[in-house]
Amino acid sequence: MRKFLLYAIPILFMIVSFSIMISGMWLKEPLGEDDHLLSYIQNVEENVKAENWEQADQEHQKAQHAWRKISKRVQYSVERDDMMAITEVLSRIEGGIKAKDEPTIMPDIYYFYGIWKDLG
Amino acid sequence: MMQESLVTIVRAVITFFTILLYSRLIGKQLIGNLTMFDYINGITIGSIAATLATDVSSKALVHWIALTVFLVLTIVLQYIGLKSRFLSKVQDSEPVVLLQRGNMLEKNLAKVRITKDELMLQLRSKNIFSPIEVEVALLEPDGTVSVLPRSQYQPVQRGDLNLPPKPAKLTTELIIDGRIIEQNLEQRKKDKDWLMSQLKLHGISSLEEVSYAAILPNDQFYVDKFDDDVSDDMNISDYKGPY
């Protein structure tokens, strides 16, 4: 039993450590009802294109809320700069929606897609 | 946003146990026998580990992989060293003669960049105060100097005096904190009755009184009780405290 634990505990520790360090890849994906960040941003994009500013604002608020949830669970495995970039780009999108300015929002949305793809 | 303290705690825990595990895998060689390579390798591993624990601006995985690569390379080189004497010498170099029959070998000293002062310092640390006393002094790959004194300066051995040889033994621990170490008792071909009779000879009736008991190299029985009957004569503290 002792010998088993002698090998099992370090192996288990390595598996847990490795899982924590790569967990961002799957923890960024939706786990609940209100953390579909990527779909919220896609909805923002569609609404901005259709100039439904009120709808875009609502979707953006959902995205902000979702990011607050997701950031807590991915923080152990992703780069701080990527997290800051997402927070920053969400604020810029919010500004663009308030100003009802599609040309400033679209580059930020696609910048978000880029970071999101590499996050994890 | 990111709770950096929390992230640092998790990463520090991962780093701590990773380092513990990896240092056990590398083996004891790093501690007692540090060659220049081992020394630099150890520093680098420490530096990567520190970054893994504290640099939250980058992914933990990146540093962890670097740490693991260093471990794997170290083990591979250790294995190669075990298998090939030539490659082991390439890795760790080999001993260099610094002093032979009282003569300092200047070329070798220059090759390993050791001054005469440093050589004398090393000799003095081995209780040799004159180069004439030295048959040969070698610089080992781990940076220490090994010295063989000339025969006329070597201490007398039992064999020189034709004294009968005595078998070399170790101290065998029998009781620690009131608990008998059965395995050691069996090793010395003794039993519990013998042990209890020895304790009785020392005025001890219960195992609970015993802090430490052992058979010494000269086969004498040694026992130490929890109850220390020691006076304050040896107390070297000159300040009452508290401190």
Q: How far apart are the first and last CA of chain A?
A: 37
Judge whether B12 and B20 are in contact, CB under 8 Å: no
Q: What residues contact residue A111 under an 8 Å CB cut-off, 6+ apart?
A: A85, A89
Query: Are the Cβ atoms of B61 and A79 closer than 8 angstroms?
Result: no
* CB pairs A-B closer than 8 Å: 48
- Name the closest residue on chain B to residue A24, using Cα atoms: B59
Judge whether B150 and B101 are in contact, CB under 8 Å: yes
- Report the percentage of chain B scoring pLDDT > 70: 96
DSSP alpha helix (H) spans, chain B: 4-26, 29-32, 36-54, 60-83, 85-92, 106-111, 116-124, 182-187, 192-201
The model's pTM is 0.73
Residue A57 and residue A64: Cα distance in Å, rounded?
10
Q: Hey, is the C-beta of A19 within 8 angstroms of any chain B C-beta?
A: no
**pLDDT class for B223, splitting at 50, 70, 90?**
very high
Would you state the pLDDT for residue B235?
76
Q: In what order do the strands lie in the sheet with B145-149?
A: B103-104, B96-100, B134-139, B145-149
Q: Hey, is the C-beta of B18 within 8 angstroms of any chain A C-beta?
A: yes
Would you state the pLDDT for residue B1?
59
Query: Are the Cβ atoms of B57 and A79 closer than 8 angstroms?
Result: yes
Residue A18 and residue B68: Cα distance in Å, rounded?
12
Average pLDDT over chain B, rounded to an integer: 88
Considering only CB atoms, A80 lies closest to which of B2, B6, B10, namely B2
Residue B30 and residue B40: Cα distance in Å, rounded?
11
- Residue B237 pLDDT exceeds 80: no
- Name the closest residue on chain A to residue B15, using Cα atoms: A17
Q: Hey, is the C-beta of B11 within 8 angstroms of any chain A C-beta?
A: yes
Query: Are the Cβ atoms of A17 and B17 closer than 8 angstroms?
Result: yes
In A, which residues are within 8 Å of B67 by CB distance? none
Question: B23 vs B236, which has greater pLDDT?
Answer: B23
- Residue B121 pLDDT exceeds 60: yes
- Residue B231 pLDDT exceeds 80: no
Query: Are the Cβ atoms of A20 and B57 closer than 8 angstroms?
Result: no
Region for residue B197 given its phi and psi (left: phi exceeds 0; alpha: psi -120 to 50; beta: otherwise): alpha
- Name the closest residue on chain B to residue A7, using Cα atoms: B21
Would you state the pLDDT for residue A97?
92
pLDDT digits (tens, 9 = 90+) for B138-159: 998 888 899 999 988 888 888 8
Would you state the pLDDT for residue B234?
76
DSSP alpha helix (H) spans, A1-120: 2-22, 24-27, 37-49, 53-74, 80-98, 102-118
- Name the closest residue on chain B to residue A23, using Cα atoms: B61
Q: Which of B23-37, B64-78, B223-237 has the lowest mean pLDDT?
A: B23-37
Residue B212 and residue B209: Cα distance in Å, rounded?
9
Of A108, A56, A62, A103, whose CA–CA distance to A86 is shortest? Answer: A108
pLDDT digits (tens, 9 = 90+) for B22-63: 988 887 665 666 777 888 888 999 999 999 999 888 889 999
Residue A37 and residue A20: Cα distance in Å, rounded?
21
Would you state the pLDDT for residue B232?
76
Residue A62 and residue A57: Cα distance in Å, rounded?
9
Residue B73 and residue A89: Cα distance in Å, rounded?
42
Considering only CB atoms, B57 lies closest to which of A20, A81, A87, namely A81
Q: Hey, is the C-beta of B5 within 8 angstroms of any chain A C-beta?
A: no
Region for residue B143 given its phi and psi (left: phi exceeds 0; alpha: psi -120 to 50; beta: otherwise): left
- Hey, what are B192's tokens? 């519990």
Residue B120 and residue B113: Cα distance in Å, rounded?
14
In A, which residues are within 8 Å of B4 by CB distance? 80
Considering only CB atoms, A71 lies closest to which of B2, B17, B60, namely B2
pLDDT digits (tens, 9 = 90+) for B151-195: 888 888 888 888 888 888 889 999 999 999 999 999 888 999 999
For chain A of 120 residues, list the mean pLDDT of each consecutive stretch of 10.
Answer: 87 92 88 88 91 91 92 89 92 91 90 88
Of B225, B222, B188, whose CA–CA distance to B206 is shortest? Answer: B225
Query: Are the Cβ atoms of B64 and A17 closer than 8 angstroms?
Result: yes
- Hey, what are B54's tokens? 């504290």
Considering only CB atoms, B57 lies closest to which of A22, A76, A80, namely A80
